[in-house]
Copies of this chain bind each other. A is one copy, B any other.
Amino acid sequence: MRSKQYPLYVGRFQPVHNGHIHAIRHVVSIHDGIIIAVGSSLTSHDKDNPFTFGERLQMLHLALAEAGIGLEKTVITGVPDIPYAHFLWVRLVEAMCPPFKLVYTNQPFTGRLFKEAGYEVRPIPFLERERYSGAEIRRRIILGVDWSQLVPASVYEYLVSIGGAERIRSLASSDEAV
């Protein structure tokens, strides 16, 4: 892990979906491995961030196993938000990860912060972005539209077992109520 340096991939994984696994497979096919940084790691139970870090960690383990991507090719870490003082965030990522030089992200703000700090930033070939996004999955769950094909089977089963859809709907209705 020391001699071979892995690139960084940042996501919020709310929840883990097929687009994430597609991206991880893409990175792992090019490099020896991948650092998976779970962003907003301390945030949960709000409309856009329903799941805890522990739950997202479970989903990642399940999805990686299902995809046949060995854990020995991954380093999984969590990075909390730093509200307002965004200029500190890249330094925080550096402290929560093994060293890296290359960052994979399609998020413009994340990309900008890493570019300002001198990192090489590369986009990830999207897997039908309109469908495979956390926002789309949460939207479907709120509307009661089928979303089972957008996430790995093991993640779907897990979310059913913890009442994930019910939580998302409940958080959404709360937001409206407030």
Task: List residues of chain A with CB under 8 Å of any chain B CB.
Answer: 1-2, 40-46, 49, 52-55, 57-58, 61-62, 65, 70-72, 75-78, 80-81, 83-88, 90-92, 94-99, 107-109, 112-113, 116, 158, 161, 167, 170-171, 173-175, 177-178
Contacts and interface: CB of A to CB of B under 8 A. Distances in A.
Contact of A177 (B71, B108, B113, B174): B108
A78 B77 contact: yes
Given A72-B71, A86-B45, A58 B1 contact: yes
Main secondary structure of the interface of A (DSSP, over half): helix
Given A54-B98, A65-B72, A80-B80, 7 more contacts: A44-B86, A45-B112, A54-B94, A57-B96, A85-B95, A109-B174, A112-B170
Given A58-B98, A77-B78, A108-B177, A85 B2 contact: no
Contact of A42 (B81, B84, B161): B84
B174 A1 contact: no
Count this chain's copies in the assembly. 6
Contacts of A54: 77, 94-99
A90 B161 CA distance: 23
Nearest to A81: B84
Most buried by B among A40, A44, A70: A44
Contacts of A65: 72
A91 to B, nearest CB: 4
B77 A96 contact: no
